[in-house]
Structure 1
Amino acid sequence: MPPLSSQSPIHIEKLQNKLTVLVIPRPGVGVITADLWVNVGSADETPAVNGASHFLEHMLFKGAGPFGVGEIDCMIEGIGGVLNAATSHDFTQYYMTAASANLPVVLRALAQMAQNAHLNAEDVDSERQVILEEYSIKQDNPQGVLWEELYYKAFEHGPYRLPILGTPETLANIGQPELKNYYERHYTPENMTLMLVGDIEPARAVDLAREAFGDFTRPYRPLIDRSKLTTQYASAGEHVIEKDANDTYGMLAVPAPALCGNAREICGLDVMQYVVGGGEASVLYQEVKEKRRLATSIDAGYSHARHPDLFAVYFTCDDPVRAELTRSVLEIFDRAAQEKPTPAALHRARKLLANTHAFSLETTGGMSGTIGYYYTITNDVKFEREYMDTVLDISAEEVQSLAQKYLAGRQPVQVAVRPKKG
């Protein structure tokens, strides 16, 4: 398959029922990815139905329209295709890739999942057990516990405080009526984007999308009014969990901005992230792991999120050196605010980011995932279209200024999962 360019033309059309269709033609690749983005995630849940977005992701494969349990999987795999789904704080995504000639089959499956999920009570009860097992596996994983604890402790309140999977308590209270209500409120054409990337003409792709989805009508009635959501960060503090583990897994985090309305700043923060803590040539890796031998692994990062989020440093270490490690990280944060990155460090960070973004666009699935994500979050393609040019234009002065704004003098929230004593 030839590489896919970030500047491949994007054709955008809104159907009469308000479903947005984005088409990126890739002549000659022979396949097409159909990627349905539902603009709902755990950030859109109330505490009473925490976990509903992810629960629905499971349930849509349990039958929809004329398809019974498992039949959609069998149909797509039977034509040589692949399919999967994902849920995050900000979205739920269903994606399928198959030979281009089979796009009508793929769209029929997605359309039925979007509008006619069975949500049978017996299937809801059985799938709840599957999700509880998934929750249990995550609780046995120190890294999974760490991330969930970080988001819970870092926010006094806000859309990212609730866990994506929910909890055993909330899952026990989500039954067929609650899922049906949540589904009918959020799975609406107005709240969806259909990405089609592959070997097809845009006009033909839109016609097939209209044929599959055109009769789908349902009013959008969100459970939460996003315009009224606010984020309040918690005060600095240290939170430790003891589990059966060989090493200590730790994170420290400081506030970071939302993506929307902060495009250049977000690109600058990406560059800052790579200078400070991205990869083996970064300052954190070289000083904390290689020079001071305080960590067995260390990395930094944050998400391009719809709401204010976190800039976090993740590490593994021996527990007795954790406090010293934390002090070292905060010293590096302060130094990043006092000193501009060297030309070599800046060049490395910009090139790594540009290459990583380019690699994400090399396949039809990668392109639909990257562009579909940013369109879902920002309701525009501008951020992705301009991302690489903006990253390559970020200056050393901008990186230093952002470190002054977001890193210097910050008292982070700290969480750690350490081995049980004794």
Structure 2
Amino acid sequence: MPRPPAADAAALRRVRGGGGTVDKSTAIRRTDLPGGLRVVTEHIPHVHSASVGVWVNVGSRDEGRSVAGAAHFLEHLLFKATPTRTAVQIAQAVDAVGGELNAFTSREHTCYYAHVLDSDLALAVDLVADVVLRGQCFADDVEIERDVVLEEIAMRDDDPEDTLGDVFLSAMFGDHPVGRPVIGSVDSISAMTRTQLHSFHLRRYTPDRMVVAVAGNIDHREVVALVREHFGPRLVRGRSPVPPRKGAGRVPGRPTLQLVKRDAEQTHLSLGVRTPGRHWEERWALSVLNTALGGGLSSRLFQQIRETRGLAYSVYSTVDTFADSGALSIYAGCLPERFDEVVRVTTDVLAEVARDGITDEECRIAKGSLRGGLVLGLEDSASRMNRLGRSELNYGQHRTIAETLARIDEVTLDDVNAVARQLLTRPFGAAVLGPVRNRRSLPRPLQTIAG
């Protein structure tokens, strides 16, 4: 695919005031408000919906050890009451228009969002702003949501893949903040106080850490006016937006092996290597490598483990990226008697790709898969809103879809294979969950990983 026109490729011009920054090629507009609050919108004329998200540049990696899980706990708590609405009234308001109101917490940010008909945009902004800015931390509600979060931890523990995901990141990053579960632990949630949660809200939820992202059949000026109305007294001059995270430098230590012994019908494996963070220039080549390894039905791991040998139903690879680090990982779940062979085939594939690289055909298919997945994944206003919020918090800029497609297309086979040689020769980390006895009972490739 050729490079996008110069108008597409140019960086967005920043304009202060209600009109905002304009990118005519994609209808993305951006306005900086007093206090460091940013409003980013994308007009999608062919839809009848609007998605509103308030993104806060705060996640589980910003917590002290004594309040592990506070960002997620607070996300639950803010929906319980505001000065003008009870939890029931909040729910009724969104149900009455057939909308959705929810939130999620990650390691580096929290998002509160609403998805409604475009005619209900004003209500969506009102509800999300009310919850984020004025959600109450009443003591009785803290106790109710404490039980809910503990139930969520129990539900996580009952899901082998979810449990393994948290254990794997702990194996990869150890005591580094991104290695800790977003949800916290039974001990930390049980001990957390109303004062700690209220203080976390007051100190962390400031306009300079926030982005209001809105996508759908909306008008940028109307959105800015609504945000001004509902953020009101918070828009105090003198603060600039908090810049995107750059990370705290190199993650100390080496990846390790962690075991979770559990009676189960399957043994579950996550195996991977550390990668640079999301600002790495070679991240596009890494995406192609990940897709070729385990990102689709034609990927090498899927073909070798499932299609050719029938060793597992589920096998795939994925990339988690943070500001300062990341992980390329492979997941497989299989019957315990097949586990040794799954490990052998997986490590053989990784060693082969590290040595010989992927083929030109694998590279071509992986790039096509990424291009199609990107475009198809942005067919609705909610996905566009998510893209706006993440781009603003993570990079402080917005690429057009044409620019992103061009970056994927520019990746060469040599680029991908250079990344494979660099990453797949690094020390592996792994997590294993299932009926395993001890390290000595594991396949030899896993025994060599530090424990």
TM-score (norm 2): 0.85
The structure 2 residue matched to 1:90, chosen from 108, 127, 144, is 108
When structure 1 is superposed on structure 2, of 97-106 and 14-23 the one drifting more is 97-106
Aligned residues of 2:272 and 2:327 also touching (Cα < 8 A)? yes
Where does residue 380 of structure 1 map in the other structure?
397
- Please tell me the residue identity of whatever aligns with 2:230: A
Provide closer, same or farther for how the CA distance between residues 383 and 89 of structure 1 changes in structure 2, counting only shifts above 3 A: farther
- The alpha carbon displacement at 1:92 in A equals 0.7
Give me the whole-angstrom Cα distance separating, in 2, the residues matched to 1:304 and 1:387: 17
Where does residue 419 of structure 1 map in the other structure?
435
Instruction: Map residues 184-333 of structure 1 onto 2, 5 A cutoff.
Output: 184-217=202-235, 229-232=248-251, 234-260=253-279, 262=280, 264-333=281-350
- Please tell me the residue identity of whatever aligns with 1:245: A
- Unpaired runs of 5+ residues, structure 1, are 1-5
- Please tell me the residue identity of whatever aligns with 1:139: D
Q: Does 1:338 align with 2:351?
A: no
Provide closer, same or farther for how the CA distance between residues 383 and 407 of structure 1 changes in structure 2, counting only shifts above 3 A: farther
- The alpha carbon displacement at 1:7 in A equals 5.5
TM-score (norm 1): 0.91
Aligned residues of 2:357 and 2:420 also touching (Cα < 8 A)? no
When structure 1 is superposed on structure 2, of 198-207 and 271-280 the one drifting more is 198-207
- Seq. identity, %: 26
Aligned to 1:390, what secondary structure does the other structure show? Answer: helix
Provide closer, same or farther for how the CA distance between residues 385 and 96 of structure 1 changes in structure 2, counting only shifts above 3 A: farther
Where does residue 3 of structure 1 map in the other structure?
none
Give me the whole-angstrom Cα distance separating, in 2, the residues matched to 1:303 and 1:383: 22
Where does residue 422 of structure 2 map in the other structure?
405
Aligned to 2:35, what secondary structure does the other structure show? Answer: coil
Where does residue 130 of structure 2 map in the other structure?
112
Provide closer, same or farther for how the CA distance between residues 419 and 384 of structure 1 changes in structure 2, counting only shifts above 3 A: farther
RMSD of the alignment, in Å?
2.4
When structure 1 is superposed on structure 2, of 287-296 and 46-55 the one drifting more is 287-296
1:368-391 C-alpha deviation (Å, 9 max, x unpaired): 012322222222213866322111
Give me the whole-angstrom Cα distance separating, in 2, the residues matched to 1:152 and 1:52: 18
Give me the whole-angstrom Cα distance separating, in 2, the residues matched to 1:277 and 1:125: 43
Give me the whole-angstrom Cα distance separating, in 2, the residues matched to 1:379 and 1:187: 19
Aligned residues of 1:30 and 1:99 also touching (Cα < 8 A)? yes
- The alpha carbon displacement at 1:228 in A equals 7.3
Aligned to 1:215, what secondary structure does the other structure show? Answer: helix
Instruction: Map residues 29-44 of structure 1 onto 2, 5 A cutoff.
Output: 29-44=47-62
- The alpha carbon displacement at 1:415 in A equals 1.2
Where does residue 365 of structure 1 map in the other structure?
382
Give me the whole-angstrom Cα distance separating, in 1, the residues matched to 2:278 and 2:402: 15
Aligned residues of 1:43 and 1:89 also touching (Cα < 8 A)? yes
- The alpha carbon displacement at 1:400 in A equals 0.4
Aligned residues of 1:50 and 1:166 also touching (Cα < 8 A)? yes
Provide closer, same or farther for how the CA distance between residues 118 and 197 of structure 1 changes in structure 2, counting only shifts above 3 A: same
Provide closer, same or farther for how the CA distance between residues 217 and 55 of structure 1 changes in structure 2, counting only shifts above 3 A: farther
Aligned to 1:83, what secondary structure does the other structure show? Answer: strand
Aligned to 1:300, what secondary structure does the other structure show? Answer: strand
Aligned to 1:17, what secondary structure does the other structure show? Answer: helix
1:5-44 C-alpha deviation (Å, 9 max, x unpaired): x952210001112210001112242321111111111111
Provide closer, same or farther for how the CA distance between residues 59 and 317 of structure 1 changes in structure 2, counting only shifts above 3 A: same
Aligned residues of 1:125 and 1:175 also touching (Cα < 8 A)? no
- Please tell me the residue identity of whatever aligns with 2:75: E
Aligned to 1:214, what secondary structure does the other structure show? Answer: helix
Aligned residues of 2:258 and 2:431 also touching (Cα < 8 A)? yes
Where does residue 140 of structure 1 map in the other structure?
158
Provide closer, same or farther for how the CA distance between residues 292 and 29 of structure 1 changes in structure 2, counting only shifts above 3 A: closer
Give me the whole-angstrom Cα distance separating, in 2, the residues matched to 1:236 and 1:212: 46
When structure 1 is superposed on structure 2, of 189-198 and 333-342 the one drifting more is 333-342
Aligned residues of 1:81 and 1:96 also touching (Cα < 8 A)? yes
- Unpaired runs of 5+ residues, structure 2, are 1-23, 438-451
Provide closer, same or farther for how the CA distance between residues 138 and 327 of structure 1 changes in structure 2, counting only shifts above 3 A: same
The structure 1 residue matched to 2:147, chosen from 110, 115, 129, is 129
1:147-185 C-alpha deviation (Å, 9 max, x unpaired): 111111222332211111100111122111000110111
Number of aligned residue pairs: 410
Aligned residues of 1:371 and 1:384 also touching (Cα < 8 A)? no
Aligned residues of 1:236 and 1:412 also touching (Cα < 8 A)? yes
